[in-house]
Amino acid sequence: MKALVKPTLIIMSVFGLLYLSAAMFILNFPVQAGAASQLDLAQSLMPYRILAYVGIVGTWKWLSFWLTKPAGNPSQFHDELVEQWRERRELVARSWWKVALFFTLFELVAIQKVGI
């Protein structure tokens, strides 16, 4: 039971943050509901997308820690597994520029040109 407390708190915090973000977005959205059909969402939502892109790339080193973490308790890992984890974590952390390039190309092609 005690092992479930930390993941539960993390999940609840993430959903709470998403809920508050959505509420702030809805309250601050500059267009009334009836006029939304004529709105260019690609342009009007750009600051929010850019903020999300910067947030993900800015926290990429921390995210790489969690993306590469093997299952289990790190204090019980043997030395070889800890070394493999460290190497993978450093490799993923160094690839932040690939994530930034993906977001840039996604924004330019999928959002600006195609208008998804």
Q: Do 56 and 85 lie in a common domain?
A: yes
When the pLDDT of each residue in the chain is averaged and rounded to a whole number, the result is 81
Whether residues 25 and 39 share a domain: the answer is no
Using the predicted structure, report yes or no on whether residue 103 has a pLDDT greater than 60. Answer: yes
With the C-alpha atoms ordered 30, 36, 39, 43, is the resulting torsion angle positive or negative? positive
User: Does 50 share its domain with 21?
Assistant: no
Number of residues that make up the chain: 116
Q: In which domain, by residue range, is 11 found? A: 1-30
pLDDT digits (tens, 9 = 90+) for 49-92: 889 999 999 998 998 888 888 878 878 888 898 888 889 889 98
Same domain, 40 and 96: yes
Residues 50 and 67 in one domain: yes
Are 78 and 22 within one domain? no
> Does 86 lie in the same domain as 41?
yes
With a CB cutoff of 8 Å and minimum separation 6, the contacts of 50 are: 107
Into how many domains does the chain fold?
2
Predicted local confidence at residue 101, as pLDDT:
92
What is the model's pLDDT at position 82? 85
Whether residue 10 sits in one domain with residue 55: no
Place of tokens 């984890």: 85
- Please say whether the dihedral angle defined by the alpha carbons of residues 72, 83, 11 and 41, taken in this order, is positive or negative: negative
Whether residue 40 sits in one domain with residue 9: no
Q: Are 25 and 64 in the same domain? A: no
Q: Where are the alpha helices (DSSP H) in the chain?
A: 5-28, 41-44, 46-58, 60-67, 79-94, 96-105
Same domain? For 50 and 81 the reply is yes
